[in-house]
Amino acid sequence: MISVNDLRTGVTVEIDGEIYSVVDFLHVKPGKGAAFVRTKLKNIRTGSSVEKTFRAGERIARAHIESRQMQYLYAADGEYFFMDMETYDQISLGESDLGDAPKYLLENMTIGIQFYENQAVGVDLPTTVVLEVTQTEPGFKGDTAQGATKPATLQTGLTIQVPLFVEQGDMVKVDTRTGEYISRS
C-alpha cells in the first residue's frame, strides 16, 4: 500500500482491479477544509485517461510492473509472437494488446514487454526505429523552398510524411512516440 501523498509521475497503482500509471498529480491544501490530491491516471491496459481525487493520507495498492526483454519473431492471423531472451519461452499477443506497436515492429527486434501478475499489459518500444521506404513519389527540383513533405510508405506498412529528397529504398529514422520522420539513415 502507498499513501496518495507519495504519488509521483510514473508510479503504477491498482484501483478497482485496474492498473493505472500516474501521469500528473497535484497536492491541494485549501484554506478551509481537508487537503486532497488530484491525479490524472492512465489505464495501462486500455490507454484511456481518468482524473481521480483522493483525500490526503488515503492509501491505495501499488502495482508492481515487471518489464522483460523479448524478441519479436513473427505475426500470423492477427497474433504477434515474442520470445523471452532469458528463458526462451514464447508468448503471443493480439493487435489489441499491442496498440500502435505493430507499425514499428521488425522481425528479430528486441522490445520490452510489461507484465503484471504474469500477464502482458503493455509494450515498451525503442524511442526510434530505422525503417526502409518501400513506396514514395519522386521529389521535384525546386520544391524545397518551404520544407515541403510527401507521403512515404515504410516496410511495415506505416505511412508517414517525409522531406522531398527521401527516395524509395532509403532508410529513415522514425519516432515511435509520434510517428514522425526524424532523419535519413
83 band by pLDDT with thresholds 50, 70 and 90: very high
Query: Are 133 and 115 members of one domain?
Result: no
Query: Are 57 and 70 members of one domain?
Result: no
Q: Among 97, 124, 151, which residue terminates a domain?
A: 124
Q: Which long-range contacts (CB under 8 A, 24 or more apart) does 99-102 make?
A: 99/47, 99/123, 100/176, 100/179, 101/125, 102/75, 102/156
Residue 126: all three cell numbers together: 525503442
Query: Are 92 and 134 members of one domain?
Result: no
Task: Give the CA distances from residue 143 to residues 28, 136, 140, 147, 151, in Å, rounded to whole numbers and listed in that order.
Answer: 53, 16, 6, 8, 15
Query: Are 77 and 49 members of one domain?
Result: no
* H-helix segments, the chain: 95-98
94-117 pLDDT, tens digit per residue, is 887 787 888 898 889 999 888 888
Q: What is the CATH number of the domain that holds 141?
A: 2.40.50.140
Enter the pTM of the model: 0.71
Number of domains in the chain: 3
Query: ∠ CA 46-49-53 to the nearest 5 degrees?
Result: 130
Query: Are 58 and 89 members of one domain?
Result: no
Q: Among 12, 27, 62, which residue terminates a domain?
A: 62
The answer to whether 161 touches 181, Cβ cutoff 8 Å, is yes
Query: Are 102 and 140 members of one domain?
Result: no
Query: Are 57 and 75 members of one domain?
Result: no
The kind and range of the H/E element at 113 are: strand 110-116
Q: Whose CA is closest to 166, among 177, 174, 178? A: 174
pLDDT recorded at residue 2: 86
Q: What is the CATH number of the domain that holds 23?
A: 2.30.30.30
Q: Whose CA is closest to 38, among 21, 20, 63, 56? A: 56
Q: Among 124, 140, 157, which residue terminates a domain?
A: 124
Rounded to a whole number of angstroms, the CA Rg of the chain reads 21
Q: What are phi and psi of 180, to 5 degrees?
A: -105, 150
Query: Are 8 and 52 members of one domain?
Result: yes
- CA 68, CA 96: separation in Å to the nearest integer? 19
144 band by pLDDT with thresholds 50, 70 and 90: low
pLDDT recorded at residue 131: 92
Query: Are 50 and 83 members of one domain?
Result: no
Domain that holds residue 18: 2-62
